[in-house]
């Protein structure tokens, strides 16, 4: 779980314009037997529920366990869907993999984009991507305070092939309620 403590501040380098931006609410993910500072999850919400926090930690741990040192190519960033502004959200505008998570910690959708992960993720809301059984509609999640977008933002553009590998792995591991068209 995210430790209860004051948020730290880190910098994110925006590759598109070369500017650095400070991001608040950075939490360490404690790995078993390793110092808490090994992985960072950038989070825009200081009031994330214990359920969502636990799920985010679990997903990040899955990635770390499966990809080892290659997991460091990605920065995990969590943005609440009704709080898509500021440096945290701006940092998701890079190649990467996105995971929608609801208030129960359920994985709703996994996807990727080789240019701008959050833009592609939000297109699912605009297009109202839905589950096969019709119970989940992404348009309902667009401004939801109970839905989160976890983005694994790629830090090295020469490593784009890892985006595809990570998306494939997370879709199989998390079994989202809305499957990709190519897999569903």
The string of pLDDT tens digits covering residues 21-64 is 343 344 444 444 444 434 668 876 667 889 999 999 999 999 99
pLDDT number for residue 104: 94
What's the chain's average pLDDT? 78
Specify the higher pLDDT residue, 139 or 77. 77
- From CA 48, how far away is CA 150, in angstroms rounded? 12
Three-class DSSP category at 172: helix
75-89, 91-105, 168-182: segment of lowest average pLDDT: 75-89
Instruction: Name the band, by pLDDT with cuts 50, 70 and 90, for residue 121.
Output: confident
Domain residue spans in the chain?
8-174
Cα separation, 113 vs 90, in Å, equals: 15
Q: What is the pLDDT of residue 45?
A: 64
Spatial neighbors of 73 by CB under 8 A, at least 6 apart, are 154, 155, 156, 159, 162
What Cα–Cα distance (Å) separates residue 164 from each residue in 111, 154, 159, 167?
A: 9, 11, 10, 5
Phi-psi group of 82: left, alpha or beta (phi > 0 → left; psi -120 to 50 → alpha; rest → beta): alpha
pLDDT per residue as tens digits for the range 88-115: 778 888 999 999 999 999 999 999 999 9
Of 148, 123, 131, the C-alpha closest to 55 is 148
* Phi–psi pair at 89, nearest 5 degrees: -70, -40
pLDDT given at position 39: 62
- Helix, strand, coil shares of the chain, percent, nearest 5, are 35, 30, 35
The tokens describing 124, both together, are 């699912």
Q: What is the pLDDT of residue 154?
A: 95
Three-state DSSP at 144 gives coil
Q: Residue 46: what pLDDT?
A: 67
């Amino acid at each position: 779980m995210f430790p209860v403590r004051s948020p730290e501040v880190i910098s994110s380098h925006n590759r598109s314009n070369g500017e650095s931006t400070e991001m608040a609410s950075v939490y360490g993910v404690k790995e078993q037997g390793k110092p808490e500072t090994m992985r960072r999850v950038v989070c825009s919400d200081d009031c994330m529920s214990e359920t969502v926090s636990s799920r985010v930690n679990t997903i990040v741990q899955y990635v770390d366990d499966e990809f080892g040192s290659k997991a460091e190519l990605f920065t995990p960033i969590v943005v609440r869907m009704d709080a898509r502004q500021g440096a945290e959200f701006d940092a998701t505008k890079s190649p990467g993999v996105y995971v929608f998570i609801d208030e129960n910690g359920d994985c709703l959708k996994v996807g990727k984009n080789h240019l701008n992960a959050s833009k592609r993720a939000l297109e699912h809301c605009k297009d109202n991507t839905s589950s096969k059984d019709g119970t989940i509609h992404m348009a309902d999640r667009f401004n939801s305070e109970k839905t989160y977008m976890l983005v694994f933002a790629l830090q090295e553009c020469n490593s784009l092939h890892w985006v595809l590998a990570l998306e494939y792995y997370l879709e199989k591991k998390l079994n989202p309620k809305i499957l990709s068209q190519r897999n569903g």
